[in-house]
Structure 1
Amino acid sequence: MAKILDRLLLFVYSLSIAILSVLAILLLTDTVPFSLSSLEEDKGLFIATIVVSAILFLISIRFFYISIRRDRRSLTSIDQRTEYGDIQISTETIENLSYKAASRVRGIREVKTRIRITEAGLDIMVRAMVDGDSSIPALTEEVQKQVHDHVEEITGIPVSYVSVYIANLVQSPVMKSRVE
């Protein structure tokens, strides 16, 4: 809902700026008759006003384009054809499956995943933090195996590569014991 409101506000803003800048350009170039005697006397101010109006017009065109274009990133999916029909699986679904598989590994915390579609299959990038109590090479190998197997089993799409990036250690809170 917020995205739609933002796009609507951006559309209204860009349209109003475009109209105002075109009106300013028309007034300053004497296309529309109107007396701007103080502006006509100072040539520097006159040129600066035209330049600012033209820049605002170009910016408003860019904003207008942004407000009406579709968000391509959210539309990406993987299409498969079966004997019964077509199947489309969004990359967001695959990212969530990867997240779920990586989060199941003991010692892994704060997981983020990214998917890239290649000719060979899916490239899955996992970014995580570890608790520091387990071997990092063993953890990353387990994450790779879990993510690879889970995504291939659930989606039927081949996974060509799983990379794991360990960002940091999670600091567990230290509890001080009370001595009485």
Structure 2
Amino acid sequence: MIKVMDRLLLFVYSLAVGAASVFAIVMAAGGFDADWLKNAVDDIIGEDALVQTLVIAIGVVLLLLSLRIFIVSFKRSGGQAPSINQRTEHGDIRISVDTVENLALKAASRTRGVKDLKARVRAADSGLQIMIRAFVDGDTPIPALSEEMQKTVSELVQETTGIPVSEVSVYIANVTQAPTTYKSRVE
């Protein structure tokens, strides 16, 4: 929620600074009549309390936005890698999502006929949801290959991490073409 609010504030601040920049450029290029500009400044400084109050309010808002953006720019983000947390009787265990993805890739690569793999892991209440994207060689039946990969990935990840695996989805993206070799003919 705070990140969304900071982005909104940055957007509003950018618009305000952009509008002020365009005004300054047009003013410096002689785009405004000098008498009109003098009258506008006199109105702001003059006796019209409503205009003065409006200018002060806009100035205060822009100052507060500037301070917020300044503070956020120096604030350390809690940029920890996404992880899966477990509580045991001895304490907490945190396993990064990258670790689980690499375990899934390791297990999936053991399946014969698989050529190129990518994995994504999501933690759900029911357990880990693992999505495998693979290219296959086309020599092995895809349903059998997929089932073997699901079983291998599920067992290895669950055994290694101790986290239950609720689902392993396999997406066969394509069939790879084996490089064609030509025998040279000697005459």
Q: TM-score range with shorter-chain normalisation?
A: 0.5 to 0.7
Deviations 1:37-87 (A, max 9, x none): 61214x9xxxxxxxxxxxxxxxxx9x9979978486x62211111122111
Secondary structure at 2:102 match in 1: helix
Q: CA deviation at 1:160?
A: 0.3
Of residues 147-156 and 63-72 in structure 1, the stretch that sits farther from structure 2 once superposed is 63-72
**TM-score, normalised with respect to structure 2:** 0.63
Cα distance change of structure 1 residues 75 and 107 upon mapping to structure 2, 3 Å threshold: same
2: distance between equivalents of 1:67 and 1:143? 46
State the aligned residue count. 140
Among candidates 72, 84, 92, match of residue 78 of structure 1: 84
Could you say which residue in structure 2 is the equivalent of 1:108? 114
**TM-score, normalised with respect to structure 1:** 0.65
RMSD: 3.6
Q: CA deviation at 1:36?
A: 3.2
Matches within 5 A, 1:8-157: 22=17, 25=20, 28=23, 36=28, 38-41=30-33, 70=77, 75-157=81-163
Secondary structure at 1:40 match in 2: coil
Among candidates 160, 166, 180, match of residue 160 of structure 1: 166
Amino acid at match of 2:183: S
Which residues of structure 1 form unaligned runs of 5+? 1-13, 30-34, 44-60
Q: CA deviation at 1:178?
A: 1.3
Identity of aligned residues (%): 47
Q: Which runs of 4+ in 1 moved over 6 A?
A: 63-69
Could you say which residue in structure 1 is the equivalent of 2:50? none
Is 1:179 paired with 2:185? yes
Q: CA deviation at 1:143?
A: 0.4
